Structure 1
Amino acid sequence: MKITMVVPTYNEYENLPRLVKEVLSLPLEDISLLIVDDNSPDGTGELAEQLGKEYNGKVKVLHRPGKLGLGTAYNQGFQRAIADGADYIGQMDADFSHPIEKIPEMVDRLKNYDVVIGSRYVRGGKLDEKWPFYRKWLSGFGNFYARTILGLQIKDVTGGFKIWRRETLEAMPLDRIKANGYMFQVEMNYVSSKLGFKPFEIPIYFKERTHGTSKMNFAIQKEAAIRTLKIIKIYKDIKPIRKK
């Protein structure tokens, strides 16, 4: 199975070499990374190109002209990975908040599920103890708010650590998913659920980043609150499909 991990970046120069080394050291036969860089001022995109040469093409780069948002980064990355022939397509942050060592377990679970989610909110999952109370409350409330309004069974609807089967992404109307920030994760979960795809959540420890700064801001939170109320109407035409 060809596995491509899509990693959006903006100023992740310090993190990228270690990230690439650890992902490509996993006991998986055919895994690569697709770095989607939003013209990072610190040279992340250029560094990714160099790493691609060092690792014999196992690192590819999709350069974008500026900060165009997390949702479009993943959307473009997914479509590029599909075009390049990936069977399994993952998504993860570049800041080590997502435990790389969980990727083989997630890949194994895809034998029986359509998407596997690294979850902070199933039994065994946990948030970094260093997080201040307000961040833990905001994360927990955001999940509760979206799950309640949208009727989702997934516990961690805002999490961004996932691996998808190629067929799952191909069946989803990616061109209609316009959200950015963590609302993109909610929207992807909602659409895949409406289509009848089966998710599986494995517990993860979500660690605070060690380098760089968080991309979370008030605009992202506002988008999530408003768009959650809209997407039921936006996707009212979507019906479950039967997989071949």
Structure 2
Amino acid sequence: MQDTYSLQPEQSGSLHTDDAVTQNRVLVIIPTYNEAENIGRLLNDLERLYPSTVEMLVIDDNSPDGTRDIVRSLQTVISRLHMITRERKLGLGTAYLTGFRYALEHNYRYVVEMDADYSHDPVMIRELLSAMTGADLVIGSRYMNNTVNVVNWPLGRLILSKLASIYTRMVTGLPVADPTSGFKCFSAAVLRSLDLDRINSQGYSFQIEMNFRVWKKGFTIREVPIVFVDRTVGKSKMTKQNIREAIRIVWLLKIKSIFGLL
């Protein structure tokens, strides 16, 4: 469903207009809800690590903890930092779809998804981008080559995540070791080929659905190993509803694919 708010961001500098320049830009999309303890450090790290190649788009769901104010203050010193503020908490999937539409409207070449809580190491964006040569979607994988690269997760959550990956592959045939990973890089061409209005999943399900649709379009998916570190501050956004939706969505995707309804 198309979001009804404007995609014009709050920003501190004008966007590039030269197509020859914009086609080489990278947009990192960071959805936030109550990430005041993390967001300032993350944005400063991204600015330090990628001073000329990466722009940042924070999509904040009206966080009551001051996340938005921190981003606004940083926009005075980081010219490539943009923000879209939504009226209420609308979910991870719709946040990324908003970011994707913004990226396509402004002619970015690559679009990176990442969390705000440092579970995704900003240093690894470089590896995602390097792996995009010859690929259309690169996924930062916690479970490549029969290894588990997760730090500080409770055993129960680790088992749940691993089982979700196995379940997804068994039902859909998706040839991805970590289909629920939220650290990934898309080419703009892939996003442009998808009907974003048909994607309604949230949480785990959103990542599964995006991967499945990209795969079914015949694009090349590549995985690179990452180390996933559980957040040390703030609260996890995963809910039981996300888990139930993930169980259901794999069958829905498979059935839609069989009947040509994707």
TM-score normalised by length of structure 1: 0.93
Which of 64, 69, 94 is matched with 2:116 structurally? Answer: 94
For residues 250 and 174 of structure 2, the distance between their equivalents in structure 1, rounded to whole angstroms, comes to 12
Is the Cα–Cα contact under 8 Å of residues 194 and 238 in structure 1 kept in the other structure?
no
Shift of 1:233: 2.5
Please show how residues 3-14 of structure 1 align to structure 2 within 5 Å. Answer: 3-14=26-37
- 2:47 aligned partner: 24
Alignment partner of 1:208 is 2:230: yes
Is the Cα–Cα contact under 8 Å of residues 72 and 180 in structure 1 kept in the other structure?
yes
**Runs of at least 5 residues in structure 1 that lack an aligned partner in the other structure:** 240-244
For residues 53 and 85 of structure 1, the distance between their equivalents in structure 2, rounded to whole angstroms, comes to 24
3-state SS in 1 of match to 2:191: helix
- 1:82 aligned partner: 104
Cα RMSD (Å) of the superposition?
1.4
Alignment partner of 1:44 is 2:93: no
- 1:152 aligned partner: 174
Amino acid at match of 1:83: E
Shift of 1:54: 1.6
3-state SS in 1 of match to 2:36: coil
For residues 67 and 4 of structure 1, the distance between their equivalents in structure 2, rounded to whole angstroms, comes to 22
Is the Cα–Cα contact under 8 Å of residues 32 and 58 in structure 2 kept in the other structure?
yes
1:84-116 Cα distance to aligned partner (Å, 9 max, x none): 221110000000001111111211111210011
For residues 223 and 100 of structure 1, the distance between their equivalents in structure 2, rounded to whole angstroms, comes to 29
- 2:13 aligned partner: none
3-state SS in 1 of match to 2:210: helix
**Runs of at least 5 residues in structure 2 that lack an aligned partner in the other structure:** 1-23
Percent pairwise identity: 38
Please show how residues 190-205 of structure 1 align to structure 2 within 5 Å. Answer: 190-205=212-227
Please show how residues 103-114 of structure 1 align to structure 2 within 5 Å. Answer: 103-114=125-136
For residues 116 and 238 of structure 1, the distance between their equivalents in structure 2, rounded to whole angstroms, comes to 25
1:10-41 Cα distance to aligned partner (Å, 9 max, x none): 00011011100111222463211100100000
For residues 27 and 181 of structure 1, the distance between their equivalents in structure 2, rounded to whole angstroms, comes to 28
- 2:159 aligned partner: 137
Q: Say which is worse superposed, 118-127 or 172-181, in terms of deviation.
A: 118-127
TM-score normalised by length of structure 2: 0.87
For residues 192 and 92 of structure 1, the distance between their equivalents in structure 2, rounded to whole angstroms, comes to 18
For residues 225 and 261 of structure 2, the distance between their equivalents in structure 1, rounded to whole angstroms, comes to 30
**Structure-2 change in CA distance of 1:210 and 1:32 (3 Å):** same
- 1:224 aligned partner: 246
Amino acid at match of 2:125: I
3-state SS in 2 of match to 1:25: helix
